[in-house]
Amino acid sequence: MISEEACNAAVSLHRQGWKNYRISTLKLKKYDVSRVLKRYKETGVADRPRSGRPVEVRTKPIKIRIRWEVKQNPERSLRKMAKELEIGDGCVQRIVKKYLKLEDCCLTGRLLLTF
């Protein structure tokens, strides 16, 4: 993978009239120079849009709301919380474990969230 600085340098040298083989003598592979310049001609200097589905549920207000709900009643099930917030069970579990960094302790078959 070529760094952003190297990409910008290759583009600026190309604008100055340098040929690809001459740019490639500056510790860049000829293939990388060709690929960078092709992408530059297609989209300009800006990055291409990312592929895949955008994240819509894991927003900051939802994370704050889930943290508040957990603090109010740590014995509450994540499924009920997901149903009330009208988002998926997996999203709530992911937010609790990954973003809020809370651990679950199984006590008598119920989920108890601890800080």
Q: Is residue 74 part of a domain?
A: yes
Q: Are residues 60 and 94 in the same domain?
A: yes
Q: Is residue 66 part of a domain?
A: yes
- With CA atoms as reference, report the closest residue to 4 among 41, 34, 43, 47: 47
Which range marks the domain in which residue 27 is found?
Answer: 4-43
HSE value, Cβ hemisphere, 13 Å, CA-based, for 61: 3
Q: Is residue 114 part of a domain?
A: no
- Please report the pLDDT score of residue 112 as a whole number: 57
**DSSP H helices in 44-87:** 60-72, 78-85
- With CA atoms as reference, report the closest residue to 93 among 71, 61, 72, 70: 70
SS3 17: coil
Instruction: Give the tens place of pLDDT for each residue, 57-77.
Output: 778 888 899 889 888 888 888
Q: Does residue 106 register a pLDDT over 70?
A: no
Residue 20 DSSP label: H
pTM: 0.47
Q: Are residues 71 and 96 in the same domain?
A: yes
Lowest mean pLDDT among 14-23, 54-63, 97-106: 97-106
Q: Does residue 108 register a pLDDT over 60?
A: no
Structural domains of the chain, count = 2
Please give the share of the chain, as a percent, with pLDDT higher than 90.
8
Q: Are residues 34 and 8 in the same domain?
A: yes
* Interatomic CA distance for residues 28 and 98, integer angstroms: 39
Instruction: Give the tens place of pLDDT for each residue, 28-68.
Output: 888 889 988 988 888 876 777 778 877 777 788 888 998 89
Are 10 and 36 spatial neighbours (Cβ–Cβ below 8 Å)?
Answer: yes
- Please report the pLDDT score of residue 107 as a whole number: 41
79-88: average pLDDT: 90
